[in-house]
Amino acid sequence: MTIRFLIRTSVKFKPTDLESKVPLSLRFKEGTSIDKFLVTKILVNPNLWDSKNQQIKSRMVCDEEMRQMVDTEVTAIRRFFEDAYQHDRDNIDKNWPKLILDKYYNPLKYKQETVEEKKTLLSLYDYYLEMHPLSDIRIRNNRVVMRVLQRYELFVRLTHPRKRKFTLYIDDVDQTMLHDIWKYVKNEHIYRDNYPELFEAAPEKRPSKPRGENTLIDYFCKIRTFFRWCYDNGLTQNRPFDKFHLDEPVYGTPVFITLEERDKLLDTDFSDDARLALQRDIFVFQTLIGCRVSDLYALTRDNIINDAVEYIAGKTVDGNPRTIRVPLNSISHAILDRYKNREGKSLFPFTTQQDYNEDIKEVFKRAGLDRMVTILNPTTRRQEQKKLYEVASSHMARRTFVGNLYLETKDKGLVATLSGHDPNSDAFNRYWAPNEEVRQEMMEKLERVTDKKPVEPNTTKQAFTPVHPGSILKRQLESHGYNTRDLSMLIGSTPEALESIIAEQKAMTDNIAQGLEMVLGVSAGMWMNLQRAYDQAIKSE
């Protein structure tokens, strides 16, 4: 089977025409017997389409949202055809490609009859996960919720003599039943010993302890989203969450380690325990690239590109995928070098994530990281004081990366380019908190502004070398593997203009700064702030 996407039109377009759009065609070939051309709903400018690489031309300047949309849709259709081919490969005829494309664009038309026969909540939830575009990690999280609902269904059958055949039907769920499900999920840890069959039918890996309020809210938000999807797609008229109130999650002040504490981890001798030495190295490396633990475990040597780690966050791969690029520093290189001769493509010989989290606590304890921190108990929602090693986890590495970078730069946009966050999201705001030094700096702004002794002028000449944006741009070009000619095409400038900036002969301009933000991911504000600081320093000299 061969699938190619191409432009088929008799209309001639000028090379400068980047506005006109035509439907992208799909060519399906199966041996010599089937060769069909189909028209998709993807609209693309003919001058932007790269038929060889099957994507929007990488070096062309265009709307990034359009580029992502087209490339994502092309990939989705290709995967849909490949999956269908594996299922139908023995029954493919000349009408099959047209049928599969129609199924892709009109899935409910082909599933409706099957779904109508079984409107149980669990079967529809399974159907929802199949049809709704979600990343792998979100699908896994929803599967956890599905297993909880399955166990609730079994629990009702076991504990209510008149409900031995109880089944969750989507049209029967009301406000009262939602409260009953909430009560069950909150107390499920109590039933593990008395009703082991619940966990045999729908396994649960978590330890036997109460779920926190935030976890319950998260579960029910997922169930609410599922109900809304079913309503929007005509699978039910039931809207039980209209009268079921969900509180907002409550989070405590994020806890992360300082750079001094990170160095203390690095300097601790673990020569007597190779396992803890490995977990220490992995944790410190994670604090230097800031990715989630699921993305860390997926990294291979192929993700090391031009002295940096490049990856697409698994959490956003199906929604808003974008490449995150984090340059490696000397510490990162030193850690990677310790494991460069091992077999396999993964960066490290990873253990299970559960073992990783447990070992991190032991690593912290051995290193003497035992300062007292205040956390919010997720179950009681009350503040508690714990030693740092007691609350250490893999996610603390990500908080350490974001928190320390923010404290150094005070620029959320710049930090977000390295962490993959939306800088305006609530989730991103939870990752950082001002340290004592920043708090002191803020309070000093409230000191008296009168009756102060005049500050004696400093007559000592300070050695200061102003930094021109051109020197930073030069390093960015080397890091990304661009030359001035390629970069100028991407940002709509000229090689001469870029070379003059790199040579520190001309100043950075707003237009070039905005283009660099789009291509290199470094905010336009940072470039212009550098230029203003440089100009001010030169003027002062």
Q: What CATH number does residue 498 fall under?
A: 1.10.260.40
Residue numbers of the domain that contains 134? 121-243
For residues 418 and 313, the answer to whether their CB atoms sit within 8 Å is no
Contacts with 520 (C-beta within 8 Å, 6 or more apart), sequence order: 476, 480
Is 54 in the same domain as 140? no
Helices (H), 290-352: 293-298, 330-337
**Does 342 have pLDDT greater than 70?**
yes
pLDDT at 463: 47
pLDDT: which is higher, 93 or 454: 93
Give a yes or no: residue 190 inside a domain: yes
Q: Which helix (H) or strand (E) holds 143?
A: helix 136-159
pLDDT per position as a tens digit, 51-93:
888 998 888 878 888 888 888 899 999 999 988 888 887 788 8
Is 274 in the same domain as 378? yes
pLDDT per position as a tens digit, 413-439:
677 777 776 666 666 666 655 555 556
Is 305 in the same domain as 346? yes
User: pLDDT confidence of 526, banded at 50, 70, 90?
Assistant: confident
User: pLDDT confidence of 464, banded at 50, 70, 90?
Assistant: very low
Give a yes or no: residue 491 inside a domain: yes
Beta bridge partners of 533: none
pLDDT at 430: 65
Dihedral sign of CA atoms 252, 253, 256, 260 in order: negative
Nearest to 416 by CA among 329, 324, 516, 284: 324
Residue that finishes a domain, picked among 214, 243, 272: 243
Nearest to 242 by CA among 256, 231, 254: 231
Give a yes or no: residue 405 inside a domain: yes
**Does 18 have pLDDT greater than 80?**
no
Is 238 in the same domain as 283? no
Is 224 in the same domain as 318? no
Give a yes or no: residue 159 inside a domain: yes
**Does 468 have pLDDT greater than 70?**
yes
For residues 490 and 67, the answer to whether their CB atoms sit within 8 Å is no
Domain harbouring 372, CATH code: 1.10.443.10
For residues 360 and 107, the answer to whether their CB atoms sit within 8 Å is no
Give a yes or no: residue 461 inside a domain: no
pLDDT at 1: 84
Is 314 in the same domain as 194? no
**Average pLDDT taken over every residue of the chain:** 83
φ, ψ for residue 433, nearest 5 deg: -150, 145
pLDDT per position as a tens digit, 155-201:
999 998 888 889 999 999 999 999 999 999 998 888 887 888 888 87
Contacts with 292 (C-beta within 8 Å, 6 or more apart), sequence order: 313, 314, 315, 395, 398
**Does 115 have pLDDT greater than 50?**
no
Q: What is the mean pLDDT of residues 483-501?
A: 83
**Does 322 have pLDDT greater than 80?**
no
Give a yes or no: residue 286 inside a domain: yes
Tell the residue number behind the tokens 């759009």, with chain if given: 21
Is 341 in the same domain as 282? yes
Is 89 in the same domain as 168? no
Residue that finishes a domain, picked among 71, 105, 139: 105
- 3-state DSSP helix/strand/coil % of the chain, to nearest 5: 55, 10, 35
Angle at which helix 524-540 crosses helix 510-520, to 10 degrees, equals 130
Is 185 in the same domain as 226? yes
Question: Which range is least confidently modeled, 350-354, 392-396, 411-415, 450-454?
Answer: 450-454
- Residues constituting the chain: 541
Nearest to 476 by CA among 497, 494, 502: 502
Is 521 in the same domain as 496? yes
Give a yes or no: residue 452 inside a domain: no
Question: Which range is least confidently modeled, 171-185, 198-212, 232-246, 292-306?
Answer: 198-212
Is 288 in the same domain as 414? yes
Give a yes or no: residue 47 inside a domain: yes
- pLDDT over 90 percentage in the chain: 33
Is 96 in the same domain as 34? yes
Q: What domain count does the chain have?
A: 4
